[in-house]
Chains A and B, each alone.
Chain A
């Protein structure tokens, strides 16, 4: 079997470092030894594939997927949409996109979350979808609220939605967080600011997208996700690959 075409090396200077001391939990959960670099083998080139049979038809509608019939959650109704692309700007179809978030008051439906803001009986806070042939996805949800966390005494997370994305390869696996344009908490947050590259932070910030807004119904934000790109197959008679 020939050597599979590899994915582009991940730029570790763009991503947050493992040890980011202002994000206190990272201090004891960060490896101290250098990562061992592996060329991609079939174990990393492959990855789980998901289809529409794996998920429910309404799993991407958080206004609906936990609400009592006829009711809906309280909060700013939004459409969160965008595309999953690779570094070659090609769409990634059939990518599984999973999200989770707090409700409009910043409270998660999780037994470990004891924040005094109340739970919303009509809001679960998780959803999932699969990108179409153009790499496009969308969710309907409410805009999450900021919430406090025990890091420094008065730290507040900016409003955010957690995103988990599977491309076509294990090497592309990514979990990140999407922030909202104009949120003044973004520059204050030790988790966001663990990212050393300001442009990379901008890339995590969803833009208000009035063109995708449904008048008198829901406002829209656009969030594109970029996964690692891949080299062309290395042909024997064309060693340069591309």
Chain B
């Protein structure tokens, strides 16, 4: 036997389960317990850039809406800077870049308001993390914008199947609203990343 490496092992993931909202988005689920709910205001009042709305639905392998999903958002500001010491530059006061959203219980449709991010190591994108009952390890994906030039983005170009890249492009509609549906399984399955 060789020597043992003295690393610890990452704690194993478990599903967030059916009641994730009471823990991570209690106010949005109608349960007032905390004064300040995290992830409600992604960009803050001072953010530069275009105000946008993103809306969509998460569907399972049968095409049914996943009504108990929780999505987290992580994004840069309009200059492509993250609110983090390792990102070069400052962000506007109040800009967090972090969001949490849950869908309407009846329909499964969710929406969040933010600003459109600037380019970061490629085309502008939002980083999304999807958890729910039945999802054993949170799913990482990215949202790109249909009105941007995404042709040179290194991550999109890493996806060998060109037809799958389209699953990551949010479609711009009226009033600066983007539609981004996520398909967990089957035809048009959204691309998920091991980051």
Contact = CB atoms under 8 A, between A and B. Distances in A.
A37 B12 CA distance: 19
Given A59-B34, A170-B74, A4 B86 contact: yes
Nearest to B18: A112
Interface residues of B, number: 75
B21 A110 contact: yes
Contacts, number: 248
In terms of DSSP, what is the predominant structure of the interface of chain A?
Answer: loop
A164 B23 contact: yes
Among B8, B14, B61, B86, chain A packs the most CB atoms within 10 A around the CB of B14
A25 B62 CA distance: 12
Please report whether the interface of chain B is mostly helix, strand, loop or mixed according to DSSP. loop
Contacts of A88: 7-8
A38 B22 contact: no
Interface residues of A, number: 86
A85 B8 contact: yes
12 contacts: A20-B136, A26-B15, A28-B134, A35-B192, A45-B86, A47-B84, A110-B18, A124-B31, A126-B23, A175-B131, A200-B12, A227-B11
Interface of A: 1, 4, 10-12, 14-18, 20, 23, 25-33, 35-38, 40-50, 54-56, 59, 65-66, 85-89, 96, 98-100, 108-113, 124-126, 128, 162, 164, 168, 170-171, 173-177, 191-192, 194-195, 197, 199-201, 203-204, 225-229
